[in-house]
Structure 1
Amino acid sequence: MTASASASASASASARRVAAPVRPDGDRWFRRYAVRADPRRRLLILPHAGGSASFFHSWGLAFDEDTEVLVARYPGRHDRLTDPCVHSMEELADRVTDALLPFLDVPVSLFGHSMGASVAYEVALRLESRYGVRPAALHVSSRKAPHRLTPRALYEEGDEALIAEVRRLGGTDDSLLDDPDLREILLPAIRADFTVVGTYGPRPATPVGCPVHAHIGDQDPSTTIEDMTAWSDVAPAGFDLQTLPGGHFYLLEHREALIGSVSRHLTATA
């Protein structure tokens, strides 16, 4: 591509990324990557325990111009550092669902990684049972199906145990965990998220009305392919499983392959 063509393409893309309408609570809970004022669909991304919206920044404009990406901004971190952390799945799913309501004017798909997969599942159930809204699709990554969960009470242990588990799973820059000042800032959110995970026990396999697409790394130390296949028990509308090389954070090394898969499901659903 020539320099002039590249500049023209960049200008065209910028023109499409117009400001979206303000939705006060949603703008607090979601980082929005608005491609156009009237998107045809939305993708809501729910991060993992200890994660933040910035982890998925590169996903923001990775989809077609008809797709607006929202990434959940959990309280207690980054630009919500002073907001009280949430310590239960019920409250977290309730608050995400409530904040999502103004964005349901177009079909919404959900993608959750690790803890975020359980949040996405609970949001899907709430949208259907409380508001009669069926998500277009539910994408779950690196997380056991709800009826196969085996919670651990790590949140009751000391800081070093929590840090050791975060290191084991990967996905967090070790330099952040090694710096005492930064670790002190990160630990409250990490402990809150591990409380959410540790108190969310096995649940009945309540089905969702949308297709479920599961994704996992073949060397995940905490979730097996059988655990991911069990999501089919809550997916009478359709299920498939994508396995990629890697561990719990396979999505770092295989970002393009995962985004390509999610993108194909988004456009196929539309």
Structure 2
Amino acid sequence: MSIGNSPEDERPFHDVSEQTRPSVGHALRQARIATGLTVDDVSSATRVRIAIVHAIEADDFAPCGGDVYARGHIRTLARAVRLDPAPLIAQYDAEHGGRPEPTPAAPMFEAERIRPERRGPNWTAAMVAAIVAVVGFVGFNAFKGGDGGSDAKAQVAEGASPAPSKSSSPTPEKDKPAAPSSAPSDSAIAAAPQDKVTVQVSAPNGRSWISAKDHNGRMLFDGLLNKGESKTFQDRSKINLILGDAGAIELYVNGKKIEDDFRPGAVERLTYTKGDPAAG
């Protein structure tokens, strides 16, 4: 009988601790079940999404987004189920190639650089647009005002004499005869300018519609001449008249009365120049 080690004692020693040690995910799952917590409870306590908790317990660390995040989730979950996180993190590093290198900062700064810059409102463009709008509005009003002024001036005869006003009376006009219109005095005839044509239109016998234009066709007057009223028109070369009721009208051209026998109710179209009193 030999004294010494038996053949069984010379068999190679196997460390079964590595084979029996559970994986990181399995250890976390067993600890969670032992503490009576559900996946929802752990997710609510750690703010780690339920899908990531399930993946880690199945030893699938891809949803974590990298080793740094995986280590952080392991540490958080281990504390939630009352495990020491250090052995689990060391086991994770051993199974996944050691401690991960720190994430380089360059991609983060690059993402910050390409982030679109938020710009404020372009006040210069707004001011230019406002100035253009104001200038356009002022020009439009000035244009309209100029047209209105020319229309108003067109209806005022050159050198028109004020029409004699009739005193109001309760007596009807047909009961009181109108005072006859007096002919222009010698001084008025002498005062008629020789370089212009002057036409005075009076309505001593009733009212009549009249229209008067200058040599350019510009309207000097277009309206009703009431009984007893008169209008005087001047132009440097020609006056064109339309009388709606020529029989109610008396005409004085260049200070001289026109003796034409106009019929009542007749419409007359007349033209007078500097050389008249003859109708053109």
Query: TM above 0.5, one fold?
Result: no
TM-score (structure 2 length as normaliser): 0.22
Structure showing the higher helix proportion among its residues? 1
So what's the TM-score if we normalise by structure 1? 0.22
For CA contacts below 8 A with separation 6 or more, give which structure has more relative contact order.
1
In our comparison, the structure showing a higher alpha carbon Rg is: 2
